[in-house]
Structure 1
Amino acid sequence: METKLKIDASVLTSKGNVRDKNEDSFYFNGTFKEKNSIIDPLSLSLNSSDKKYIFAVCDGMGGEQLGEEASHLAILSLHEFYISYFQLFNTIADLKKYMDSYISQTNQKIYEHSLTLSKKMGTTIAAILFCRDKAIAFNVGDSSVYLLRNSNLIKLTTEHTEAQRLVRLGVLNSYTAKFHKSKNILTRYLGANPANGTMEADYSDELTVLKGDTYLICSDGLSGSLTDEELKFHLSVGNSSASICKDLVDLALGNGGKDNVTALVVKIIDVA
Protein backbone atom coordinates (compact mmCIF):
# COMPACT_ATOMS: atom_id res chain seq x y z
CA MET A 1 0.00 0.00 0.00
CA GLU A 2 1.32 3.45 -0.93
CA THR A 3 2.25 5.85 1.85
CA LYS A 4 -0.15 8.71 2.49
CA LEU A 5 0.30 11.86 4.53
CA LYS A 6 -2.50 12.90 6.85
CA ILE A 7 -2.25 16.67 7.21
CA ASP A 8 -3.86 19.66 8.89
CA ALA A 9 -3.01 22.70 6.75
CA SER A 10 -4.09 26.34 6.72
CA VAL A 11 -3.14 29.64 5.11
CA LEU A 12 -3.89 33.19 6.20
CA THR A 13 -2.96 36.31 4.25
CA SER A 14 -3.47 39.98 5.13
CA LYS A 15 -2.63 43.26 3.39
CA GLY A 16 -1.26 44.47 6.73
CA ASN A 17 -1.74 47.77 8.50
CA VAL A 18 -0.30 50.12 5.88
CA ARG A 19 -0.64 48.76 2.33
CA ASP A 20 -3.76 49.38 0.26
CA LYS A 21 -3.47 46.08 -1.61
CA ASN A 22 -2.18 42.60 -0.89
CA GLU A 23 0.63 41.74 -3.33
CA ASP A 24 1.10 38.33 -1.68
CA SER A 25 -0.44 35.27 -3.34
CA PHE A 26 -0.56 31.64 -2.31
CA TYR A 27 -1.09 28.19 -3.77
CA PHE A 28 -2.96 25.77 -1.55
CA ASN A 29 -2.89 22.36 -3.21
CA GLY A 30 -5.27 23.25 -6.04
CA THR A 31 -6.80 26.39 -4.54
CA PHE A 32 -5.38 29.90 -4.71
CA LYS A 33 -6.10 33.53 -3.92
CA GLU A 34 -8.05 35.14 -6.73
CA LYS A 35 -6.61 38.25 -8.33
CA ASN A 36 -8.05 41.48 -6.89
CA SER A 37 -9.64 39.56 -4.00
CA ILE A 38 -11.35 42.00 -1.64
CA ILE A 39 -11.47 39.50 1.24
CA ASP A 40 -9.01 40.61 3.87
CA PRO A 41 -7.76 38.77 5.76
CA LEU A 42 -8.29 35.67 3.62
CA SER A 43 -7.97 32.18 5.13
CA LEU A 44 -8.34 28.57 3.98
CA SER A 45 -7.93 25.23 5.74
CA LEU A 46 -7.51 21.63 4.62
CA ASN A 47 -7.67 18.33 6.50
CA SER A 48 -6.71 15.54 4.15
CA SER A 49 -5.01 12.19 3.67
CA ASP A 50 -3.28 11.90 0.29
CA LYS A 51 -0.02 10.90 -1.44
CA LYS A 52 0.96 14.31 -2.85
CA TYR A 53 0.57 17.97 -1.98
CA ILE A 54 1.95 21.28 -3.19
CA PHE A 55 1.89 24.55 -1.26
CA ALA A 56 3.47 27.91 -2.14
CA VAL A 57 3.62 31.58 -1.18
CA CYS A 58 4.53 34.41 -3.58
CA ASP A 59 5.32 38.03 -2.66
CA GLY A 60 4.87 40.41 -5.59
CA MET A 61 7.07 43.43 -6.22
CA GLY A 62 6.59 46.50 -8.37
CA GLY A 63 3.92 48.19 -6.30
CA GLU A 64 0.26 47.34 -5.79
CA GLN A 65 -1.24 46.38 -9.18
CA LEU A 66 2.10 45.26 -10.61
CA GLY A 67 3.13 43.23 -7.60
CA GLU A 68 -0.20 41.48 -7.38
CA GLU A 69 -0.12 40.81 -11.13
CA ALA A 70 3.34 39.22 -10.91
CA SER A 71 2.58 37.00 -7.93
CA HIS A 72 -0.74 35.96 -9.50
CA LEU A 73 1.00 35.01 -12.77
CA ALA A 74 3.39 32.78 -10.84
CA ILE A 75 0.50 31.09 -9.04
CA LEU A 76 -1.49 30.61 -12.26
CA SER A 77 1.52 28.91 -13.87
CA LEU A 78 1.79 26.63 -10.83
CA HIS A 79 -1.91 25.79 -11.12
CA GLU A 80 -1.44 24.83 -14.79
CA PHE A 81 1.24 22.37 -13.68
CA TYR A 82 -0.97 21.03 -10.89
CA ILE A 83 -3.88 20.37 -13.25
CA SER A 84 -1.85 18.91 -16.11
CA TYR A 85 1.11 17.11 -14.57
CA PHE A 86 1.16 16.90 -10.78
CA GLN A 87 -0.62 13.55 -10.47
CA LEU A 88 1.69 11.98 -13.08
CA PHE A 89 4.84 12.27 -10.97
CA ASN A 90 5.71 9.63 -8.37
CA THR A 91 9.03 10.84 -6.94
CA ILE A 92 10.49 14.06 -5.61
CA ALA A 93 13.20 13.82 -8.29
CA ASP A 94 10.51 13.86 -11.02
CA LEU A 95 8.78 16.84 -9.39
CA LYS A 96 12.06 18.74 -9.06
CA LYS A 97 12.80 18.34 -12.78
CA TYR A 98 9.50 19.94 -13.65
CA MET A 99 9.97 22.71 -11.09
CA ASP A 100 13.25 23.66 -12.80
CA SER A 101 11.26 24.14 -16.01
CA TYR A 102 8.44 25.93 -14.17
CA ILE A 103 10.86 28.46 -12.64
CA SER A 104 12.59 29.37 -15.91
CA GLN A 105 9.35 29.51 -17.92
CA THR A 106 7.51 31.57 -15.30
CA ASN A 107 10.43 33.98 -15.05
CA GLN A 108 10.24 34.47 -18.83
CA LYS A 109 6.45 34.87 -18.74
CA ILE A 110 6.52 37.57 -16.04
CA TYR A 111 9.43 39.40 -17.71
CA GLU A 112 7.64 39.46 -21.08
CA HIS A 113 4.46 40.71 -19.39
CA SER A 114 6.45 43.51 -17.75
CA LEU A 115 7.69 44.57 -21.20
CA THR A 116 4.12 44.91 -22.47
CA LEU A 117 3.40 47.22 -19.52
CA SER A 118 6.76 49.03 -19.83
CA LYS A 119 7.15 48.67 -16.06
CA LYS A 120 9.38 46.49 -13.93
CA MET A 121 7.61 43.78 -11.94
CA GLY A 122 8.52 40.55 -10.26
CA THR A 123 7.71 38.11 -7.49
CA THR A 124 9.31 35.79 -5.00
CA ILE A 125 8.20 32.20 -4.55
CA ALA A 126 8.69 29.75 -1.69
CA ALA A 127 7.15 26.29 -1.87
CA ILE A 128 7.14 22.78 -0.53
CA LEU A 129 6.29 19.61 -2.44
CA PHE A 130 5.19 16.44 -0.66
CA CYS A 131 5.29 13.02 -2.34
CA ARG A 132 4.45 10.05 -0.13
CA ASP A 133 6.87 10.26 2.82
CA LYS A 134 9.29 12.64 1.07
CA ALA A 135 9.36 16.41 0.70
CA ILE A 136 11.49 19.16 -0.79
CA ALA A 137 11.37 22.94 -0.37
CA PHE A 138 12.50 25.56 -2.86
CA ASN A 139 12.54 29.32 -3.21
CA VAL A 140 13.43 32.30 -5.35
CA GLY A 141 13.71 35.58 -3.46
CA ASP A 142 13.14 36.25 0.23
CA SER A 143 10.00 34.25 1.01
CA SER A 144 10.88 31.35 3.29
CA VAL A 145 10.15 27.76 4.31
CA TYR A 146 10.72 26.48 7.86
CA LEU A 147 10.45 23.07 9.49
CA LEU A 148 9.77 22.55 13.18
CA ARG A 149 10.90 19.03 14.14
CA ASN A 150 11.47 17.73 17.66
CA SER A 151 11.36 21.29 19.02
CA ASN A 152 14.08 22.40 16.58
CA LEU A 153 13.32 25.18 14.08
CA ILE A 154 15.12 24.57 10.78
CA LYS A 155 15.11 27.10 7.95
CA LEU A 156 14.94 25.12 4.71
CA THR A 157 15.51 28.07 2.35
CA THR A 158 18.12 30.80 1.88
CA GLU A 159 16.97 34.36 1.22
CA HIS A 160 18.17 35.84 -2.06
CA THR A 161 18.90 39.34 -0.77
CA GLU A 162 21.94 41.59 -0.81
CA ALA A 163 22.04 41.41 3.00
CA GLN A 164 22.22 37.60 2.93
CA ARG A 165 24.98 37.81 0.32
CA LEU A 166 26.92 39.96 2.77
CA VAL A 167 26.24 37.38 5.50
CA ARG A 168 27.76 34.65 3.31
CA LEU A 169 30.79 36.89 2.75
CA GLY A 170 31.14 37.40 6.51
CA VAL A 171 30.46 41.16 6.31
CA LEU A 172 27.21 40.86 8.31
CA ASN A 173 25.87 38.33 10.79
CA SER A 174 22.33 36.96 10.80
CA TYR A 175 21.22 39.48 13.43
CA THR A 176 22.63 42.63 11.82
CA ALA A 177 21.31 41.47 8.42
CA LYS A 178 17.74 41.83 9.72
CA PHE A 179 18.25 45.59 10.11
CA HIS A 180 20.65 46.31 7.26
CA LYS A 181 19.57 48.72 4.50
CA SER A 182 20.10 45.99 1.88
CA LYS A 183 17.76 43.45 3.49
CA ASN A 184 14.99 44.21 0.98
CA ILE A 185 17.19 44.29 -2.13
CA LEU A 186 16.50 41.04 -3.98
CA THR A 187 19.35 39.38 -5.86
CA ARG A 188 16.99 36.84 -7.43
CA TYR A 189 13.28 36.97 -8.31
CA LEU A 190 10.83 35.78 -10.96
CA GLY A 191 10.53 38.43 -13.65
CA ALA A 192 14.23 39.16 -14.11
CA ASN A 193 15.67 39.60 -17.61
CA PRO A 194 16.32 36.06 -18.99
CA ALA A 195 19.23 37.48 -20.99
CA ASN A 196 21.16 37.60 -17.70
CA GLY A 197 20.98 33.82 -17.40
CA THR A 198 18.52 31.00 -16.69
CA MET A 199 16.54 31.65 -13.51
CA GLU A 200 17.01 28.88 -10.96
CA ALA A 201 15.51 28.12 -7.58
CA ASP A 202 17.48 26.94 -4.57
CA TYR A 203 16.31 23.58 -3.21
CA SER A 204 16.53 22.07 0.24
CA ASP A 205 17.79 18.54 0.70
CA GLU A 206 15.15 15.89 0.13
CA LEU A 207 13.44 15.32 3.47
CA THR A 208 11.85 12.24 4.99
CA VAL A 209 8.53 13.44 6.38
CA LEU A 210 7.85 12.45 9.98
CA LYS A 211 4.69 12.40 12.05
CA GLY A 212 4.66 15.55 14.18
CA ASP A 213 6.51 17.74 11.67
CA THR A 214 5.19 21.29 11.22
CA TYR A 215 6.08 23.26 8.09
CA LEU A 216 5.71 27.02 7.60
CA ILE A 217 5.83 28.90 4.29
CA CYS A 218 5.71 32.67 4.64
CA SER A 219 6.36 36.00 2.97
CA ASP A 220 8.98 38.31 4.44
CA GLY A 221 6.15 40.37 5.91
CA LEU A 222 5.99 37.58 8.50
CA SER A 223 9.58 36.37 8.79
CA GLY A 224 10.90 39.94 8.84
CA SER A 225 8.56 40.91 11.69
CA LEU A 226 9.12 37.94 14.01
CA THR A 227 12.19 36.48 15.66
CA ASP A 228 13.09 32.81 15.22
CA GLU A 229 12.15 32.33 18.88
CA GLU A 230 8.67 33.73 18.24
CA LEU A 231 8.24 31.52 15.17
CA LYS A 232 9.38 28.46 17.10
CA PHE A 233 7.09 29.21 20.07
CA HIS A 234 3.94 29.53 17.98
CA LEU A 235 4.74 26.56 15.73
CA SER A 236 5.40 24.45 18.83
CA VAL A 237 1.99 25.08 20.35
CA GLY A 238 -0.29 22.09 19.87
CA ASN A 239 -3.04 24.13 18.26
CA SER A 240 -4.69 23.65 14.87
CA SER A 241 -2.90 24.97 11.80
CA ALA A 242 -5.59 27.67 11.45
CA SER A 243 -5.00 28.87 15.00
CA ILE A 244 -1.22 28.94 14.47
CA CYS A 245 -1.59 30.99 11.28
CA LYS A 246 -3.82 33.49 13.06
CA ASP A 247 -1.43 33.83 16.00
CA LEU A 248 1.57 34.37 13.70
CA VAL A 249 -0.17 36.93 11.48
CA ASP A 250 -1.66 38.76 14.48
CA LEU A 251 1.80 39.01 16.03
CA ALA A 252 3.33 40.33 12.79
CA LEU A 253 0.57 42.94 12.52
CA GLY A 254 1.05 43.84 16.18
CA ASN A 255 4.75 44.38 15.49
CA GLY A 256 3.93 47.00 12.86
CA GLY A 257 2.43 45.18 9.89
CA LYS A 258 3.95 47.58 7.36
CA ASP A 259 4.09 44.86 4.70
CA ASN A 260 1.60 42.28 3.43
CA VAL A 261 1.71 39.17 5.63
CA THR A 262 1.12 35.54 4.64
CA ALA A 263 1.51 32.38 6.75
CA LEU A 264 0.89 28.86 5.41
CA VAL A 265 1.21 26.05 7.98
CA VAL A 266 1.20 22.30 7.30
CA LYS A 267 1.05 19.94 10.27
CA ILE A 268 1.83 16.27 9.63
CA ILE A 269 -0.72 14.33 11.64
CA ASP A 270 0.32 10.89 10.42
CA VAL A 271 2.51 9.10 7.86
CA ALA A 272 1.02 5.74 6.95
Structure 2
Amino acid sequence: MTEIGASNPELPIPLPGGGAGEIRIAWAAVTDVGRRRAANEDSFIAAPPIFAVADGMGGHLAGDRASAAVVTRLAEARTSDFIEPESIERALEKATADIDVISDGSELGVGTTVTGAALTMIDGEPYFAIFNIGDSRVYRYERNELAQVTVDHSLVQQLVESGLITPAQAHNHPEGNVITRAVGFQSQPTPDYWLLPLKPGLRLLICSDGLTGEIEDERLRLHLAAGLSATETASALVDAALAEGGRDNVTVLIVDVVDVIGAHAAEGGADTGITAPRANHRVL
Protein backbone atom coordinates (compact mmCIF):
# COMPACT_ATOMS: atom_id res chain seq x y z
CA MET A 1 0.00 0.00 0.00
CA THR A 2 1.06 3.59 -0.53
CA GLU A 3 0.40 6.40 1.95
CA ILE A 4 0.83 10.00 0.79
CA GLY A 5 0.40 12.73 3.37
CA ALA A 6 -0.04 12.71 7.11
CA SER A 7 -2.74 13.64 9.59
CA ASN A 8 -3.09 17.29 10.55
CA PRO A 9 -5.11 18.64 13.52
CA GLU A 10 -5.79 21.96 11.75
CA LEU A 11 -4.43 23.77 8.70
CA PRO A 12 -5.37 27.27 7.50
CA ILE A 13 -5.56 27.61 3.72
CA PRO A 14 -5.98 31.11 2.24
CA LEU A 15 -8.63 31.60 -0.40
CA PRO A 16 -7.34 32.73 -3.81
CA GLY A 17 -7.49 36.43 -4.63
CA GLY A 18 -5.27 37.93 -1.97
CA GLY A 19 -8.10 38.82 0.44
CA ALA A 20 -8.59 37.92 4.09
CA GLY A 21 -10.64 34.81 3.39
CA GLU A 22 -9.44 31.37 4.43
CA ILE A 23 -10.60 27.89 5.24
CA ARG A 24 -9.41 25.77 8.14
CA ILE A 25 -9.49 22.00 7.81
CA ALA A 26 -8.35 19.01 9.84
CA TRP A 27 -7.88 15.46 8.62
CA ALA A 28 -6.62 11.99 9.50
CA ALA A 29 -6.13 8.71 7.64
CA VAL A 30 -5.83 5.20 9.09
CA THR A 31 -5.43 1.91 7.20
CA ASP A 32 -5.14 -1.76 8.18
CA VAL A 33 -4.55 -4.97 6.25
CA GLY A 34 -7.50 -6.59 8.04
CA ARG A 35 -7.82 -10.04 9.59
CA ARG A 36 -7.85 -12.20 6.46
CA ARG A 37 -5.69 -10.60 3.76
CA ALA A 38 -1.98 -11.18 3.35
CA ALA A 39 -1.30 -7.75 1.87
CA ASN A 40 -2.88 -4.30 1.97
CA GLU A 41 -3.92 -3.27 -1.56
CA ASP A 42 -5.48 0.01 -0.39
CA SER A 43 -3.63 3.31 -0.86
CA PHE A 44 -4.50 6.86 0.09
CA ILE A 45 -3.52 10.48 -0.36
CA ALA A 46 -4.28 12.91 2.44
CA ALA A 47 -2.57 16.11 1.32
CA PRO A 48 -4.43 19.29 0.33
CA PRO A 49 -6.03 19.88 -2.01
CA ILE A 50 -6.67 16.14 -2.53
CA PHE A 51 -7.99 13.52 -0.13
CA ALA A 52 -8.62 10.13 -1.71
CA VAL A 53 -8.71 6.38 -1.12
CA ALA A 54 -7.97 3.73 -3.76
CA ASP A 55 -8.74 0.03 -3.35
CA GLY A 56 -6.66 -2.10 -5.72
CA MET A 57 -7.70 -5.29 -7.45
CA GLY A 58 -5.60 -7.85 -9.26
CA GLY A 59 -3.90 -10.06 -6.70
CA HIS A 60 -0.20 -10.90 -6.30
CA LEU A 61 0.44 -7.27 -5.25
CA ALA A 62 -0.77 -5.98 -8.63
CA GLY A 63 -3.73 -4.36 -6.87
CA ASP A 64 -1.32 -2.63 -4.51
CA ARG A 65 0.61 -1.23 -7.48
CA ALA A 66 -2.61 -0.11 -9.19
CA SER A 67 -3.87 1.82 -6.18
CA ALA A 68 -0.37 3.26 -5.70
CA ALA A 69 -0.36 4.48 -9.32
CA VAL A 70 -3.60 6.39 -8.73
CA VAL A 71 -2.60 8.20 -5.54
CA THR A 72 0.86 8.93 -6.94
CA ARG A 73 -0.59 10.56 -10.06
CA LEU A 74 -3.08 12.51 -7.93
CA ALA A 75 -0.20 13.74 -5.77
CA GLU A 76 1.59 14.98 -8.89
CA ALA A 77 -1.50 17.03 -9.79
CA ARG A 78 -1.18 19.11 -6.60
CA THR A 79 0.14 22.41 -7.95
CA SER A 80 -1.75 24.80 -5.63
CA ASP A 81 -4.11 24.87 -2.65
CA PHE A 82 -7.12 24.37 -4.94
CA ILE A 83 -7.49 22.19 -8.03
CA GLU A 84 -9.72 22.03 -11.09
CA PRO A 85 -11.69 18.76 -11.42
CA GLU A 86 -10.28 18.40 -14.93
CA SER A 87 -6.83 17.99 -13.37
CA ILE A 88 -8.14 14.97 -11.48
CA GLU A 89 -9.26 13.37 -14.72
CA ARG A 90 -5.88 13.96 -16.34
CA ALA A 91 -4.18 12.35 -13.34
CA LEU A 92 -6.47 9.32 -13.58
CA GLU A 93 -5.74 8.99 -17.29
CA LYS A 94 -2.01 8.91 -16.51
CA ALA A 95 -2.64 6.33 -13.78
CA THR A 96 -4.57 4.21 -16.27
CA ALA A 97 -1.56 4.17 -18.57
CA ASP A 98 0.62 3.13 -15.62
CA ILE A 99 -1.78 0.33 -14.75
CA ASP A 100 -1.79 -0.91 -18.34
CA VAL A 101 1.96 -1.46 -17.97
CA ILE A 102 1.49 -3.19 -14.61
CA SER A 103 -1.19 -5.50 -16.03
CA ASP A 104 0.83 -6.63 -19.03
CA GLY A 105 0.48 -10.40 -19.17
CA SER A 106 -2.23 -10.56 -16.51
CA GLU A 107 -5.10 -12.86 -17.46
CA LEU A 108 -7.53 -11.38 -14.93
CA GLY A 109 -6.62 -7.73 -15.42
CA VAL A 110 -5.55 -5.13 -12.90
CA GLY A 111 -7.44 -2.11 -11.62
CA THR A 112 -8.49 -0.05 -8.65
CA THR A 113 -11.35 1.97 -7.29
CA VAL A 114 -10.78 5.59 -6.33
CA THR A 115 -12.93 8.00 -4.40
CA GLY A 116 -12.19 11.28 -2.73
CA ALA A 117 -12.62 15.01 -2.28
CA ALA A 118 -10.60 17.81 -3.81
CA LEU A 119 -10.62 21.46 -2.78
CA THR A 120 -11.80 23.59 -5.69
CA MET A 121 -13.16 27.08 -6.33
CA ILE A 122 -16.48 27.66 -8.12
CA ASP A 123 -17.46 31.28 -8.84
CA GLY A 124 -15.14 32.48 -6.09
CA GLU A 125 -16.48 30.07 -3.45
CA PRO A 126 -14.68 27.05 -1.91
CA TYR A 127 -16.11 23.62 -2.62
CA PHE A 128 -15.19 19.99 -2.30
CA ALA A 129 -15.27 18.31 -5.69
CA ILE A 130 -16.28 14.79 -4.70
CA PHE A 131 -15.22 12.19 -7.26
CA ASN A 132 -15.73 8.46 -7.55
CA ILE A 133 -14.98 5.40 -9.66
CA GLY A 134 -15.94 2.04 -8.16
CA ASP A 135 -17.44 1.11 -4.80
CA SER A 136 -15.27 2.96 -2.32
CA ARG A 137 -17.36 5.75 -0.80
CA VAL A 138 -17.57 9.34 0.39
CA TYR A 139 -20.09 10.26 3.07
CA ARG A 140 -20.91 13.69 4.46
CA TYR A 141 -21.91 14.27 8.08
CA GLU A 142 -23.69 17.50 9.02
CA ARG A 143 -26.10 18.45 11.81
CA ASN A 144 -26.16 14.89 13.15
CA GLU A 145 -27.16 13.46 9.76
CA LEU A 146 -25.09 11.11 7.61
CA ALA A 147 -25.57 10.90 3.84
CA GLN A 148 -23.72 8.88 1.25
CA VAL A 149 -22.53 11.29 -1.44
CA THR A 150 -21.11 8.85 -3.97
CA VAL A 151 -23.05 6.14 -5.79
CA ASP A 152 -21.41 2.73 -6.03
CA HIS A 153 -20.44 1.44 -9.45
CA SER A 154 -21.37 -2.13 -8.60
CA LEU A 155 -23.65 -4.97 -9.59
CA VAL A 156 -25.38 -4.79 -6.21
CA GLN A 157 -26.11 -1.08 -6.67
CA GLN A 158 -27.69 -1.85 -10.05
CA LEU A 159 -29.87 -4.49 -8.38
CA VAL A 160 -30.96 -1.97 -5.75
CA GLU A 161 -31.77 0.67 -8.36
CA SER A 162 -33.81 -1.84 -10.36
CA GLY A 163 -35.79 -2.80 -7.26
CA LEU A 164 -34.66 -6.42 -7.28
CA ILE A 165 -33.11 -6.19 -3.80
CA THR A 166 -33.38 -3.76 -0.90
CA PRO A 167 -30.48 -1.66 0.45
CA ALA A 168 -30.51 -3.89 3.54
CA GLN A 169 -30.12 -7.00 1.37
CA ALA A 170 -27.30 -5.33 -0.53
CA HIS A 171 -25.12 -5.06 2.57
CA ASN A 172 -24.24 -8.78 2.66
CA HIS A 173 -25.08 -9.76 -0.90
CA PRO A 174 -22.87 -12.58 -2.32
CA GLU A 175 -22.09 -10.45 -5.42
CA GLY A 176 -21.07 -7.48 -3.30
CA ASN A 177 -17.52 -7.46 -4.64
CA VAL A 178 -18.50 -7.16 -8.33
CA ILE A 179 -17.88 -3.62 -9.55
CA THR A 180 -18.94 -2.15 -12.88
CA ARG A 181 -16.43 0.69 -13.22
CA ALA A 182 -12.77 1.01 -12.22
CA VAL A 183 -9.47 2.68 -13.03
CA GLY A 184 -7.56 0.21 -15.16
CA PHE A 185 -8.71 -2.94 -16.92
CA GLN A 186 -7.76 -1.15 -20.17
CA SER A 187 -10.74 1.21 -20.01
CA GLN A 188 -11.09 5.00 -19.96
CA PRO A 189 -11.47 6.31 -16.38
CA THR A 190 -14.87 7.97 -16.01
CA PRO A 191 -15.43 9.52 -12.58
CA ASP A 192 -18.74 10.87 -11.32
CA TYR A 193 -18.61 14.26 -9.58
CA TRP A 194 -20.56 16.14 -6.94
CA LEU A 195 -19.89 19.69 -5.72
CA LEU A 196 -20.20 20.19 -1.97
CA PRO A 197 -19.87 23.71 -0.50
CA LEU A 198 -17.51 24.06 2.44
CA LYS A 199 -19.27 24.95 5.69
CA PRO A 200 -18.02 24.91 9.30
CA GLY A 201 -18.93 21.62 10.92
CA LEU A 202 -18.97 19.62 7.70
CA ARG A 203 -17.26 16.25 8.14
CA LEU A 204 -16.34 13.89 5.31
CA LEU A 205 -15.78 10.16 5.61
CA ILE A 206 -13.77 8.70 2.70
CA CYS A 207 -13.31 4.95 2.87
CA SER A 208 -12.70 1.66 1.11
CA ASP A 209 -15.35 -1.05 1.19
CA GLY A 210 -13.42 -2.81 3.91
CA LEU A 211 -15.23 -0.40 6.24
CA THR A 212 -18.70 -0.32 4.69
CA GLY A 213 -18.70 -4.09 4.18
CA GLU A 214 -18.49 -4.50 7.95
CA ILE A 215 -20.25 -1.47 9.42
CA GLU A 216 -23.75 -0.27 8.51
CA ASP A 217 -24.53 3.41 8.00
CA GLU A 218 -26.18 4.03 11.37
CA ARG A 219 -23.08 2.84 13.22
CA LEU A 220 -20.96 5.03 10.95
CA ARG A 221 -23.14 7.99 11.90
CA LEU A 222 -22.76 7.30 15.61
CA HIS A 223 -18.97 7.25 15.31
CA LEU A 224 -18.94 10.51 13.36
CA ALA A 225 -21.32 12.10 15.88
CA ALA A 226 -19.24 11.14 18.92
CA GLY A 227 -17.38 14.47 18.96
CA LEU A 228 -13.92 12.92 18.70
CA SER A 229 -11.07 14.34 16.65
CA ALA A 230 -10.46 13.28 13.07
CA THR A 231 -7.61 10.99 14.22
CA GLU A 232 -9.64 9.40 17.01
CA THR A 233 -12.64 8.92 14.73
CA ALA A 234 -10.65 7.31 11.92
CA SER A 235 -8.94 4.94 14.37
CA ALA A 236 -12.24 4.02 16.03
CA LEU A 237 -13.85 3.20 12.68
CA VAL A 238 -10.97 0.96 11.61
CA ASP A 239 -11.07 -0.79 15.00
CA ALA A 240 -14.82 -1.33 14.60
CA ALA A 241 -14.34 -2.92 11.17
CA LEU A 242 -11.66 -5.24 12.55
CA ALA A 243 -13.89 -6.21 15.47
CA GLU A 244 -16.61 -7.22 12.99
CA GLY A 245 -14.23 -9.59 11.23
CA GLY A 246 -11.92 -7.40 9.15
CA ARG A 247 -12.53 -9.50 6.04
CA ASP A 248 -10.88 -6.96 3.75
CA ASN A 249 -8.28 -4.22 3.85
CA VAL A 250 -9.84 -1.18 5.50
CA THR A 251 -8.89 2.45 4.98
CA VAL A 252 -10.61 5.45 6.56
CA LEU A 253 -9.96 9.12 5.87
CA ILE A 254 -11.75 11.81 7.89
CA VAL A 255 -11.77 15.45 6.73
CA ASP A 256 -13.25 18.16 8.98
CA VAL A 257 -14.10 21.72 7.94
CA VAL A 258 -13.17 23.64 11.07
CA ASP A 259 -13.99 27.15 9.77
CA VAL A 260 -14.68 29.10 6.59
CA ILE A 261 -13.91 32.83 6.63
CA GLY A 262 -14.84 35.30 3.93
CA ALA A 263 -16.87 32.95 1.72
CA HIS A 264 -20.61 33.12 1.18
CA ALA A 265 -20.95 29.34 1.09
CA ALA A 266 -20.25 29.23 4.82
CA GLU A 267 -23.33 31.36 5.53
CA GLY A 268 -25.79 29.00 3.86
CA GLY A 269 -27.83 29.70 0.80
CA ALA A 270 -25.08 29.01 -1.73
CA ASP A 271 -25.93 25.34 -2.18
CA THR A 272 -27.95 26.01 -5.32
CA GLY A 273 -27.64 28.32 -8.26
CA ILE A 274 -23.98 27.48 -8.87
CA THR A 275 -23.14 26.46 -12.39
CA ALA A 276 -21.21 23.21 -12.40
CA PRO A 277 -18.12 23.29 -14.68
CA ARG A 278 -19.17 20.07 -16.43
CA ALA A 279 -22.42 18.30 -17.14
CA ASN A 280 -21.55 15.40 -14.81
CA HIS A 281 -20.93 17.66 -11.80
CA ARG A 282 -23.87 17.80 -9.38
CA VAL A 283 -24.23 20.50 -6.71
CA LEU A 284 -25.37 19.28 -3.31
What are the superposed Cα offsets for residues 66-103 of structure 1, whole Å, 9 maximum, x if unpaired?
Answer: 11111111111112212xxx31x85x6xx112222223
Instruction: Give the match's secondary structure for 2:104.
Output: helix
Q: Distance in 1 between matches of 2:183 and 2:239?
A: 28
What are the superposed Cα offsets for residues 200-220 of structure 1, whole Å, 9 maximum, x if unpaired?
Answer: 00112x121110111110000
Q: Distance in 2 between matches of 1:240 and 1:137?
A: 22
1:203 corresponds to 2:193? yes
Q: Going by fraction, where is helix more abundant, 1 or 2?
A: 1
What are the superposed Cα offsets for residues 150-180 of structure 1, whole Å, 9 maximum, x if unpaired?
Answer: 1111111011111101111121221111122
Instruction: Work out whether residues 23 and 64 of structure 1, in 8 Å CA contact, stay in contact via their aligned partners in 2.
Output: no
1:182 corresponds to 2:175? yes
Instruction: Give the match's secondary structure for 1:115.
Output: coil
Which residue of 2 is the match for residue 54 of structure 1? 50
Q: How much is the aligned-residue C-alpha RMSD, in angstroms?
A: 1.7
Which residue of 1 is the match for residue 37 of structure 2? 19
1:107 Cα deviation from its structure 2 partner: 2.2
1:183 Cα deviation from its structure 2 partner: 1.3
What is the correspondence of 1:84-233 to structure 2 with a 5 Å cutoff? 86-87=79-80, 95-115=84-104, 120-131=109-120, 133-194=126-187, 198-204=188-194, 206-233=195-222
Q: Distance in 2 between matches of 1:107 and 1:200?
A: 11
Match of 1:9 among 27, 48, 61: 27
Q: Distance in 2 between matches of 1:118 and 1:257?
A: 28
Q: Distance in 2 between matches of 1:119 and 1:188?
A: 15
1:258 corresponds to 2:247? yes
Q: Distance in 2 between matches of 1:222 and 1:156?
A: 16
Q: Distance in 2 between matches of 1:10 and 1:248?
A: 12
Instruction: Work out whether residues 77 and 88 of structure 2, in 8 Å CA contact, stay in contact via their aligned partners in 1.
Output: no
Instruction: Give the 3 Å change call, closer, same or farther, for CA 25–232 of structure 1 in structure 2.
Output: same
Farther-moved stretch of structure 1 (105-114 vs 122-131):
105-114
Which residue of 2 is the match for residue 72 of structure 1? 68
Q: Distance in 2 between matches of 1:115 and 1:207?
A: 38
Which residue of 2 is the match for residue 247 of structure 1? 236
State the TM-score, normalized to the length of structure 2: 0.80
Instruction: Give the match's secondary structure for 2:24.
Output: strand
State the TM-score, normalized to the length of structure 1: 0.83
What is the total number of aligned residue pairs between the two structures?
A: 239
1:2 Cα deviation from its structure 2 partner: 5.1
Q: Distance in 1 between matches of 2:59 and 2:103?
A: 13
Matched AA of 2:190: E
Matched AA of 2:192: D
Matched AA of 2:164: V
Farther-moved stretch of structure 1 (236-245 vs 169-178):
169-178
Instruction: Work out whether residues 12 and 249 of structure 1, in 8 Å CA contact, stay in contact via their aligned partners in 2.
Output: yes
Matched AA of 1:12: V
Percent identity over the alignment? Answer: 35
Q: Which has the higher contact order (CA 8 A, sep 6+)?
A: 1
Instruction: Work out whether residues 104 and 200 of structure 1, in 8 Å CA contact, stay in contact via their aligned partners in 2.
Output: no
Instruction: Give the match's secondary structure for 2:49.
Output: strand
Gaps of 5+ in 2: 1-18, 262-284
Q: Distance in 2 between matches of 1:269 and 1:202?
A: 26
Which segments of structure 1 move beyond 4 Å, counting only runs of 4 or more? 116-119
Q: Distance in 2 between matches of 1:263 and 1:270?
A: 22
Which residue of 2 is the match for residue 42 of structure 1? none
Q: Distance in 1 between matches of 2:163 and 2:90?
A: 33
Q: Distance in 1 between matches of 2:58 and 2:20?
A: 44
1:253 Cα deviation from its structure 2 partner: 0.2
Q: Distance in 1 between matches of 2:158 and 2:141?
A: 25
1:267 Cα deviation from its structure 2 partner: 1.2
